[in-house]
Amino acid sequence: AKQSGKNRFHLFDTAHDDAIKVQRESLETIRRALDKGYFVLHYQPKVNMKTGTVIGVEALIRMQHPKRGLLNPIEFLPVIENNPMSIEIGEWVIDTVLTQITQWQQMGLNLQVNTSVNIAAVQLQQPDFAQRLTTLLAAHPGVEPRFLGLEVLETSGLDDVHHVSKIMNACLSLGVEFALDDFGTGYSSLTYLRRLPANLIKIDQSFVRDMLIDNNDLAIVEGVIALAKSFKREVIAEGVESIEHGTALLKLGCNLAQGYGIARPMPASDIPAWINSWQPDARWQI
Ligand code: C2E
Ligand code: MG
Ligand code: MG
Ligand code: MG
């Protein structure tokens, strides 16, 4: 992933530049974005299709680029994958989410909603991650830790399972939730499931996308749901794009879902109205 980071980076026209210069300019752009406040968070709802309740939202970072408009994380996160700036951005994300939760609470929004943030592996590996999280939570005393969720990609950087599980346990004891994101895409999914104390497993959207047309993907989705059940973890499907996806998942016993078929990520200001007006699709009631 360290190599692909450079290749996947499209912020600049790389045609006439050498890779090192591009990397340096990219880092400068991200530095400037942090200093000038060009980063924003959008939020995507997560629902329980069976009970018809909104269970939470996931914060997803974007960069408001002065010339290029709103950029998705694939355009800038790979550049800083192994840079200390990803820790700085990660703390900005948590702090912003805690501020946002406070604001939503002050507006009287349904308080049962959990807001999750994506955590970079380098961030989670910091020996003092739990202490830093404690400090951030302390700065937002109105927010109960159970309203914050952390999502960690199971694809990279968790190799020292012993170390990571210690940090995760320290966070869990603060009361926050933990999810294994993009579950099933890494080489060590089963080891992580077995050894890491995450409450929630997120079935990767690549399996969900084709589960209705590809029996291998369907088998993986079924398998992950069964595994989650055996390990007494919650399971949520990502990338639920259609009624058919939702119905199939409900039949398989996976009630929690997130995806364009329910809602696209949206600015924070749109969330209260969305939550207040959301109705589960009648066709899900099977
Ligand atoms: P993720 O955490 O797995 O988030 C889901 C991604 O899939 C999001 O893309 C979301 O917009 C997209 N998505 C949601 N529903 C659907 C659907 O039904 N169909 C399809 N095709 N896509 C869907 P996004 O926002 O571009 O984020 C991509 C990845 O970037 C995230 O994947 C996460 O790994 C990372 N990321 C996003 N925000 C942050 C952040 O604040 N910090 C860190 N470290 N990583 C982040
Ligand atoms: Mg995520
Ligand atoms: Mg994911
Ligand atoms: Mg993903």
Residue 179 near ligand 1, beta carbon < 6 Å? no
Q: Residue 79, Cα to own-chain centre: how many angstroms?
A: 18
ipTM: 0.98
Which of the residue ranges 77-81, 111-115, 191-195, 237-241 would you say has the lowest mean pLDDT? 111-115
Cα 149 to middle of ligand 2, angstroms: 10
pLDDT digits (tens, 9 = 90+) for 165-207: 999 999 999 999 999 999 999 888 999 999 999 999 999 999 9
Q: Looking at residue 173, what is its pLDDT?
A: 96
pLDDT digits (tens, 9 = 90+) for 211-266: 999 999 999 999 999 999 999 999 999 999 999 999 999 999 999 999 999 999 99
Q: Who's near 235: CB < 8 A, 6+ residues apart?
A: 200, 201, 202, 203, 224, 225, 228, 229, 254, 256
CB atoms within 10 A of CB 157: 18
Cα–Cα dist 114/101, whole Å: 9
Cα 201 to middle of ligand 3, angstroms: 10
Residue 182 near ligand 1, beta carbon < 6 Å? yes
SS3 state of residue 35: helix
Alpha carbon nearest to ligand 1 atom 33, residue: 118
Cα–Cα dist 224/34, whole Å: 38
Instruction: Identify residues whose C-beta is under 5 A from ligand 3, the ion.
Output: 181-182, 238
Residue 93 near ligand 1, beta carbon < 6 Å? yes
Structure tokens belonging to residue 55: 């269970």
